[in-house]
Structure 1
Amino acid sequence: MSKIAILVVSFGTTYVETRRTTIEAIETAIQQAFPEATVFRAFTSKIVVRRIQENEHQHVDSPVEALKHIQEQGFDELWVQSLHLTAGIEYEQAMAAVNQVRQSFRRVVIGPPLLHTQQDFLTVVTYLKQWYPVTQADEGVLWMGHGTVHQAFASYACLDHMLWGSHHYLGAVESYPEFPLESQRLQRDGIHHVILQPFMLVAGNHAHQDMASEQPGSWQSRLEATGIKVTPVLRGLGSYQQIQQLFVQHLRQAAKGGDKNE
């Protein structure tokens, strides 16, 4: 009988509560879906890992460390579920670590990030609209994505385009679509009240500082400077059961195939 290890890999966060309601909640959902397996955690951010060690005196494995522990415990099947939203830099780094040990396992299963297929995009767009249905002509919802210099930045632009005409908008902190573009669209569309929420797995530093803070450069402050009323929502995507189950579905679908090294 196979001994299955499931490695759940995410960027991580230093914010304890959002870690519990997002990353931990998804890990629990995965464990419940695959009770025969043992779930392991890894964070790809070295800064997050270091700060958790310093502030909480807890160690979180990097993907390399977690894979070493899985090997040492004699698991013959390795399942990996990425909690990254796109197949960007952090995802590729995690996959590189997996590829280094692939031959050590009889079977390897890789669950893709949240936005992998066209259906994933369509499903996520549907959820965004369902969570905050816009009922007034001057109301809108602005989602703050992280963004990336990797080619995966196009995922954010794609979602923003798919939300076109719904009074839902999606910009990115570190790439296109940039905040000024989304701000101009809000003003052009006559939006006077906007719900502002992170399009990120967790509501971490970007959500608390770059999105919803009194700092002059935050998205909230910049929107309010244009006369738009802002209602910030500090909730990560990973806290929604629909998103949790999408990750479970990705892993379940991947498990139907998987690479066999026999």
Structure 2
Amino acid sequence: MRRLLLLICMILSFSEVSLSENKRAILMVHYGTANDTSRARNLDVLNKKVAEAFPGYKVVEAYSSNMVIEALAKRGIQKDHIRESLQKLRQQGYTDVTIQTSDLLDGVMTALIDDVAREMRSDFDTIRIGRPLLWGLDDCRWITKVLTTRISAGSNGIVFLVGHGTEGPANAIYSELDYVLQDMGHKNYHVVTIEGYPNFDNAVKILKEEDHKQVTLYPLLMVAGNHAVKDINGNWRQELTEMGYQVQVIQEGLGSIKEVQDHLISQIRKLINQ
């Protein structure tokens, strides 16, 4: 009996050591938003869904935008940067970390994640880095099916998917998505951007060429935050209305859509199982 008890104690002790040596975490990295409602509907919900999908992992978040972090800090809301989150995970004994961004593009912010992870790689046994939501052709085809099912152009309408835009080469994914939309037969759907190309002027040009009366503006953004409120539902809507168009703005972020949540969870699972 004493031998049996000793054996059980040894097994339990070994299990505890093994678990402590392989504590696993998922770090969700968001650009972030200062809009409380959008944060709750998109980022918080996404984090919760990931935590539910991976019960054996500690799921934490980090923001990549110092501007957003500082704005929230002034209101007493604490959000860690990527480096701070990784440092805390290291201090808590986590050795296996999977980093998944909620960024749409493989641009400046994903490069920042790579840089920080490279600096801290030696602090962990394993660091995996997931790719952004729109990384290539398959992702463009997938999001086309999701959004064209979700958003109707109507009989004489047109839908503009309005992304943020960037000056770098990552902006090319918007053109690829637009081409995929046309190639898959969705002629009344176009991709434009707030700060990149194509932009608002290009949207107006399309409207004049195609003679549509009803316009739907949809934020091609993970979070329908300040850009969606001020630019899309503000300036863009006002100018198009003054031009005589009937304008509808759908105020939702991609992070609130189940298919997008499931897609990111699937990416995380594939990354972990590689």
Give the TM-score normalised by the residue count of structure 1.
Answer: 0.92
Task: Return 5+ residue gaps in structure 2 as ranges.
Answer: 1-18
Show the 5 A alignment for 1:204-243: 204-213=225-234, 218-243=235-260
- Is the CA contact (8 Å cut-off) linking 1:112 and 1:251 kept in structure 2? no
Large movers: runs of 4+ above 4 Å = none
Q: Distance in 2 between matches of 1:135 and 1:211?
A: 20
Structure 2 distance, partners of 1:107, 1:80, is 11
- 1:134 corresponds to: 153
Match of 1:152 among 164, 170, 175: 170
**Structural mapping, 1:160-171, within 5 Å:** 160-164=178-182, 165-171=186-192
Please tell me whether the aligned partners of residues 137 and 176 of structure 2 are also in contact (alpha carbons under 8 angstroms).
Answer: no
Tell me, in whole angstroms, the C-alpha distance in 2 between the residues paired with 1:243 and 1:46.
25
The structure having more radius of gyration, on CA atoms, is 2
Could you tell me which runs of 5 or more consecutive residues in structure 1 were left unpaired when the two chains were aligned. 258-262
- More relative contact order, 1 or 2 (CA 8 Å, 6+ apart): 1
After the TM superposition, which residues 102-141 of structure 1 pair with which residues of structure 2 at under 5 Å, given as runs?
A: 102-136=121-155, 138-141=156-159
Distance 2:196 2:172 in 1: 9
> Partner amino acid for 1:168?
Y
1:170/1:177 contact within 8 Å kept:
yes
Matched, 1:200 2:221: yes
**Structure 2 residue identity aligned to 1:26:** L
SS of 1:76's equivalent? strand
Aligned to 1:73: 92
Equivalent in the alignment of 1:260: none
> Equivalent residue for 2:267?
250
1:163 is paired with a residue of what secondary structure? helix
**Counterpart mapping for 1:16-35 below 5 A:** 16-35=36-55
Per-residue CA deviation, residues 10-64 of structure 1 (Å, 9 max, x unaligned), is: 1000011111111111111111111000011100111111111112x02100001
| SS of aligned partner of 1:223 | helix
Aligned-pair Cα RMSD in Å: 1.2
Write the deviation string for residues 155-214 of structure 1: whole angstroms up to 9, x where unpaired. Answer: 11111222224311110111111111122112322211111121000011111111112x
My pick for the range that moved more, 182-191 or 238-247, is: 182-191
Aligned-residue sequence identity (percent) comes to 27
> Per-residue deviation at 1:117?
3.1
Q: Per residue, is there more helix in 1 or in 2?
A: 2
**Separation of aligned partners in 2, 1:111 and 1:29:** 17
| Matched pairs, number | 251
TM-score (norm: length of structure 2) = 0.89
CA–CA distance in structure 2, aligned partners of residues 174 and 127 of structure 1: 24
**Structure 2 residue 193 is matched with structure 1 residue 178:** no
Q: Distance in 2 between matches of 1:198 and 1:204?
A: 9
Specify the code of the residue in structure 1 equivalent to 2:169.
Q
Shift of 1:134: 2.9
